[in-house]
Amino acid sequence: MPSRQDILNAKILVVDDSPDNIELMEEILREEGYTDVSSTMLPEQVCPMHREHNYDLILLDLQMPGLNGFQVMKGLKEIEQGGYLPVLALTAQPSFKIAALEAGARDFISKPFDLLEVHKRIHNMLEVRLLYKELAQYSRAQQELALHDALTGLPNRRLLEDRIETALQHASRNHHKAAVMYLDLDGFKAINDTYGHAYGDEVLKIVSQRLLANSRKEDTVSRLGGDEFMVVLGDVHTLADAQGPAAKLVEAVSAPFFINDLTLQLSTSIGISLYPDDAENVADLISIADYALYEAKRSGKNRFCANGSAARQAAQAVKPALPTPAPAAPLSAELAQHR
């Protein structure tokens, strides 16, 4: 629930064509302890002001020259669009009260003002408004969590598949290609088994940062789970346009990892598939990239591989990007056999 201080710090706008009424309402609000109060006598300014400041409460006179309060509320609805309309209508006409509620106002205050009524209605409405905003923020946060990996903050598989579909549609419209790169860390299990999952988690965070730093802003870098990642490249023309970035990622991941008092080293293997040469749908592109990843692992790791139709049509075979690095932190022979 919002605290009293939260309520007193809420942003309030007073709208009335009478300077005396504005002065009176501002005085009432100041004496109660409200700290962020603005006002205007021009109803046409209300929507632009709300768009800029996102008021928590708008005290709106219904009878004004030019735009009346009902017309102002219509404009505010377009800004909120299904949200909570923070309007407390001010009216001396009993017949306007129900009409104001039907138009979207959350409550009303009768003129002439009754001080106790003003304080109570303003407080109650602000409490509901701020609670509504808290719930909306919580909902957005939950939605973000549902679409992003909790450890690295990268898009998860659910969001990734949507991003791939978008990249394919864009490529189709522009007669370009798109590439999917499937990454798996070489030797990650040995790090987890030897030094513990806390070190493994730090490695995954660093890997995600390196992948982001060595990808274009428009590319999607995702964590599928465990030590598996995927990078989606849009707007490519040939397989070579994906092989260059893949080599760059192999090199970036192979750099040492400095975590606390340890220096760790591992590498990555990458499988590449190309749209539309290898496949024309998300599932098949991922499957082909996964098989190419397996081939990269089987061929010695620390390299990228593409073995779909795009690779078969390439003039030159794909070669390892870098020699396999030796681990700085010694691992037993048994551990070194882990993937």
Secondary structure of the chain as H, E, C letters: CCCHHHHHCCEEEEECCCHHHHHHHHHHHHHHCCCEEEEECCHHHHHHHHHHHCCCEEEEECCCCCCCHHHHHHHHHHHHCCCCCCEEEEECCHHHHHHHHHHCCCEEEECCCCHHHHHHHHHHHHHHHHHHHHHHHHHHHHHHHHHECCCCCCECHHHHHHHHHHHHHHHHHHCCEEEEEEEEEECHHHHHHHHCHHHHHHHHHHHHHHHHHCCCCCCEEEEEECCEEEEEEEEECCCHHHHHHHHHHHHHHCCCEEECCEEECCEEEEEEEEECCCCCCHHHHHHHHHHHHHHHHHCCCCCEECCCHHHHHCCCCCCCCCCCCCCCCCCCHHHHCCC
Q: In this structure, what token pair is assigned to residue 296?
A: 């990269």
Instruction: Output phi, psi for 173, to 5 deg.
Output: -65, -35
Residues carrying an active site annotation: 227
The phi, psi pair for 324, rounded to 5°, reads: -65, 120
- Provide the residue type at 328 as one letter: A
Q: Which two tokens stand for residue 325?
A: 């690095």
Task: With beta carbons less than 8 A apart as the criterion, state whether 106 and 98 touch.
Answer: no
The whole-angstrom separation of Cα 26 and Cα 224 is 55
* Amino acid symbol at 302: N
